[in-house]
Amino acid sequence: ASVLLPGAARAGVLVKDRLALEQMRTVDTVLFDKTGTLTRGEPAVGEIRGVGLDDGGLDAGGLDGDELLALAAAAEADSEHPLARAIVRAAQERGLDMPPASDFSASPAVGVTATVGGATVRVGGPYLLEEEDLEPLEGSDAWAQAGATVLHVVRDGALIGALSVADEVRPESRAAVDALHGLGIRVVMITGDAEPVARAVAADLGIDEVFAGVRPEHKADKVAELQERGQTVAMVGDGVN
């Protein structure tokens, strides 16, 4: 049963397990989820490039930025993920017509799949490329090194382009990490994002250790791994995985 403590109640905190609250004083490691916790969870689309387009936007037979964005937005239209909402919002802000999509499905940490214009369109990260046995878009590694999430767009098994999506770090996250360090507590971050993105955020915040590319169903395993090292762990996130 939940326990409502007067002081916590005034702060809007519901304590579901009094023992867990008492054990908080022994915590020596705090594990933060990234998206929506350390970051605002309201990412925005940055770079857009189709296969066959160079840095100057010259077309060598590929889709231009608006065409690629509209196709990706159509595939993502039924997704509630923050990255998907960013793509759809970017298409709407540009006044693009999104073609109708059907047969939508989503796979955690992989991406989405939908039928758009009679073709199978997939939008996702590194695991999607692994499933399709494809290489990243040339030059997209620079986006990741700068801290952006790179989402590739695949149509009928062929890579047709990629988009960069950046999520702003919450200013209060820096203060929280500094305060925990001041208490002698180790700070760890866990995310489904690719390693370069995770490392960029971790470096910005001074985080001690990073678990990147972790699927939601495997996050509990990482908590167990830290506990097996003898650490007492508290996890902070904006949802339940």
Radius of gyration from C-alpha coordinates of the chain: 20
Of 33, 97, 103, 167, the active-site residue reads: 33
Sheet containing 209-211: which strands, arranged edge to edge? 209-211, 186-190, 29-33, 233-236
What gap in Å lies between CA 143 and CA 130, rounded to an integer?
19
Query: Is 66 known to be catalytic?
Result: no
The Cα-based distances of 128 to 117, 157, 203, 231 in angstroms read 21, 11, 26, 34
State how far the Cα of 34 lies from the Cα of 22, in Å rounded to an integer.
Answer: 26
Alpha-carbon distances of 63 from 52, 54, 114, 116, rounded to whole Å: 8, 11, 18, 15
Using CA atoms, how far apart are residues 199 and 182, in angstroms rounded to an integer?
22
23 C-beta neighbours (distance < 10 Å), count: 12
> Containing H/E element for 111?
strand 111-116
- Helix 65-76 and helix 82-93: axis angle, to 10°? 130
- Kindly tell me the sign of the dihedral angle through the C-alpha atoms of 74, 80, 81, 82: positive
- Is the CB of residue 150 less than 8 Å from the CB of residue 185? no
Residues designated as active site: 33
